[in-house]
Amino acid sequence: MADDIRALSAQLAQDPQSLVFLRLGEALRRKGQLDAALRVAINGLERHPHLADAHDLYARLLADKHDYERAFDEWDMALRIAPSHTGALKGLAFLYFKVGDVAQAEAHLEAAQRHEPDDPSIAQALAMVRGGVSPPAPTPTAETAPTPTATPAATAPTAASPLDESRVFAGLEGAQEGLLLLDAAGRVLGGALRNPAGADVADAVAAYLAGVSQEAARTAKLLGLGAWGGLSAEGQHGNVHLAQPSKDALLLVVRDRGVPLGRLAILAQRTTAMARRWLERQG
Amino acid sequence: MTAAAFRHALDLVTRVRGVRGAMLVSGDDGLVVAEQLMEGIKGTAVAALAASLSGRLRRAMEAAGVGVSVFWHLQAEQGALLVVSGGGSGGGGLLIVAVAEPDGNIGLVRLGLLGAGGGGA
């Protein structure tokens, strides 16, 4: 196993765009080196944000660390990218069972079985769920490198900027025009924002938003509303959503009025998860 | 606006189920103009913070090119704060502020606020 890991690490070092990170991450996971596996998975996700198998790997690692909420998000993301991803279906079934939602667990396993009727592990998990026993924690469906589901554009190598900032939102819809990550002092951490005339307004908007998260937190606290989760606003020509990926960072998503506030909040939720991962990696 | 008009505007908002209270706030200085709040809500402080947040949002949104903020909504674990600009002179104008329960119908509160502010949905 150690030799395998060394060999896979060497392959990945030679070709960082390679999908061998999936096998390396899983090998590290099986060896119990979860932190190393997480680093490999996060690096892989940054390079291949539209690869369902990468989200699946990351979700398995989060589940191993008992971070079930984020594991759910990652498996959910994998399913959005590849609706028939059996690894994600099994993972969600595992989580649903954990919270006592047997019906959803069963439904997800049945969906997985429809896509892979010959997989004995799915039949076994279904039998366990129907018998009231937790299905085993998900494992990858194949030991070989999975087939990528990303579009060529999403995975094409890009020239990394010195600070790698342009990749904070790599792969997200509209990442180059209406997403901004800033710190508590109003400095831009990543993303880009242009006004309708095409002028770069990122720095100005970030500066105006400095202190918003603290004020939002104070307002919510004063009203006894607990922690704030988001701030949506309708403008005359566009809508914005603010979220807090970490205590010291603020995320702004801007779209035209054609994107309703509810949909904007969903987009912001996805973006927040990606920004959070990036910030964790920086820290 | 007269005192009766203020009351009417607040009534439009507070009659929506799930609303714990509403205020009219001067957007420029954050002072309470009129209020109908449930006991325990610190209206003066909330008004000041709501006005300050409105100002920051307005400047940021104008800089981003999406125009003046007409409605904003702070979502929190146990409720929400909703604000519309009711117009008026100065950069801030008059703000209509509502505090809603977590399971309140945000869509209806928004309509109530816009109605109170004299705007359409």
How many residues are there in chain A?
283
> Does any CB of chain B come closer than 8 Å to the CB of residue A283?
no
Collapsing DSSP to helix, strand or coil, A239 comes out as: strand
**Per-residue CA distances from B115 to A237, A251, A269, B106, B112 (Å):** 20, 31, 30, 14, 5
Domains of chain A by residue range: 2-152, 158-282
Least confident window among A6-20, A53-67, A165-179, B55-69? A165-179
The shortest C-alpha distance from A44 to chain B (Å) reads: 33
- Average pLDDT of the residues in A147-155: 31
Q: How far is B90 from chain A (nearest CA, A)?
A: 18
B91 band by pLDDT with thresholds 50, 70 and 90:
low
Is position B101 within any domain? yes
A37 shares contact with chain B (CB less than 8 Å): no
Which chain A residue shows the shortest CA-CA distance from B44?
A: A222
Range A258-281 average pLDDT: 82
Domain harbouring B32, CATH code:
3.30.450.30
pLDDT above 70 covers a percentage of chain A that reads 84
Q: Are A13 and A49 in contact (CB under 8 A)?
A: no
pTM: 0.58
Assembly ipTM: 0.90
Q: Please name which of A100, A98, A102, A126 lies closest in space to residue A112, comparing C-alpha atoms.
A: A126
A90-145 pLDDT, tens digit each? 999 988 888 788 888 899 999 999 988 888 888 888 888 888 777 777 766 544 33
Domain A2-152 superfamily per CATH = Tetratricopeptide repeat domain (1.25.40.10)
pLDDT attached to residue A164: 41
For the record, the structure tokens of B55 come out as 């100002």
B121 part of a folded domain: no
Chain B residues touching residue A237 (CB < 8 angstroms): 65-67
Residues B41-57: b if buried by 16+ CB within 10 A, e if exposed: bebeebbbbbbbbbbbb
Q: How far is A274 from chain B (nearest CA, A)?
A: 21
Second-level CATH architecture of A158-282? 2-Layer Sandwich (3.30)
Sign of the Cα torsion A214, A172, A240, B13 reads: negative
Enumerate the residues of chain B whose CB falls inside 8 A of the CB of residue A243.
Answer: none
Q: How many domains does chain B have?
A: 1
Report the pLDDT value the prediction gives residue B97, as an integer from 0 to 100: 94
